[in-house]
Amino acid sequence: MLAIIGGTGLTQLANLEITHRQVMRTPYGEPSGAITFGTIKQHEVIFLARHGYGHTIPPHEVNYRANLWALHEQGAKRVVSVASVGGIRADLVPGVIAVPDQIIDYTHGRAFTYFDGRERSVTHIDFTWPYDQDLRRRILEAASIAGEACVDGGAYAATQGPRLETAAEITRYEGDGADMVGMTGMPEAALARELGLAYAAIAVVVNHAAGRGDSRDAIHLETVATVTQPAMARVRNILECLVGCDDD
Ligand code: HPA
């Protein structure tokens, strides 16, 4: 079964026919909200709003471990994360949708592993390619069927937030090889891998990163909302096609 974690701008799925919601507890605490069960075009889907249904949980306080644990426990095999990002690479301008293939982690102080050496023996996951390649391919195919342009690949820089970056930080991240920047990609991707979940992300560029393009002097948060809304409608179209090819 496919699980979708919705980020900013996607706290609910309009095309999801909800069957029920379930409040869950996990050994790691409570997820961001009740897990929503439903169908999209008769295909079963689980949905979770990463920041809570009222969008009240900041990126550094999301209980990533509880979220992934709950989805895994409910039978999810694949997890698609939807996340908004700032575009660093020149072609990643506001409104562009990308399926990243790499991650650079700049977060700190987050609960980032299930293997903390207390209850389980230490395990080192392979993370060379942090996103599941097969799920990435399915998303790109779904986008193509839906007629929604989608950039294949790119390195996602995960920052701590909740503040946005300085222009110098963005220059540094770009030098490191980052193409886009967001606040929630980690430890989510690594935790999914630890649980054996196939995980991939749909990144929606909602602004130029700090110091770039029309964010040269400041990131204008009021325009971010106007970009986010139509872009998330396009993401819903992609998800609708994706669930059609995902029944196991
Ligand atoms: N930086 C970090 N996270 C973000 C941004 C950004 O510019 N835009 C959307 N999420």
- State pLDDT tens for residues 66-80: 999 999 999 999 999
pLDDT recorded at residue 119: 64
Per-residue CA distances from 143 to 186, 196, 215, 234 (Å) = 24, 25, 28, 9
pLDDT computed for residue 228 by the predictor: 92
Tell me, in angstroms, the distance from the centre of ligand 1 to residue 2's CA.
26
Ranges of residues in the chain with a pLDDT under 50 are: none
pLDDT for residue 178: 98
Assessment of whether the complete model's pTM goes beyond 0.85: yes
| pLDDT at residue 14, rounded to an integer | 76
Q: 33 CA distance to ligand 1 centroid (A)?
A: 23
- SS3 for 27? coil
- pLDDT value, residue 164: 97
Question: Residue 9: its pLDDT value, please?
Answer: 77
The ligand 1 atom at the shortest distance from the C-alpha of residue 165 is: 1
Q: Residue 12: its pLDDT value, please?
A: 75
Check if the beta carbon of residue 103 is closer than 8 Å to that of residue 155: yes
Please tell me the distance between residue 247's alpha carbon and the centre of ligand 1 in angstroms. 33
pLDDT at 11: 76
* Any atom of ligand 1 within 6 Å of the Cβ of 184: no
- CA nearest 16: which of 42, 40, 45? 40
Ligand 1 centroid from CA 118, angstroms: 34
Whole-number pLDDT of residue 53 = 83
- Residue 107: its pLDDT value, please? 98
Half-sphere exposure of 209 (CA within 13 A, CB side): 28
For residue 244, the model assigns a pLDDT of 81
Q: Which atom of ligand 1 is nearest to the CA of 59?
A: 3
Which of 106, 181, 205 gets mutated to test ligand 1 (max ligand atoms within 8 A of its CB)?
A: 181
Q: Are 86 and 215 in contact (CB under 8 A)?
A: yes
Q: Can you give the pLDDT at residue 109?
A: 95
Domain 2-245, CATH number (from 3.40.190.10, 3.40.50.1580, 1.10.3760.10, 2.60.40.1840): 3.40.50.1580
How many Å apart are CA 165 and CA 192, to the nearest integer?
26
- Neighbouring CB atoms inside 10 A of 180's CB total 26
Nearest CA to ligand 1 atom 9: 85
3-class secondary-structure state, position 19: strand
Shortest-distance Cα residue to atom 5 of ligand 1: 86
The atom of ligand 1 lying closest to the CA of 219 is: 7
Q: Which residues pair with 201 in a beta bridge?
A: 81
CB count within 10 Å of CB 97 equals 21
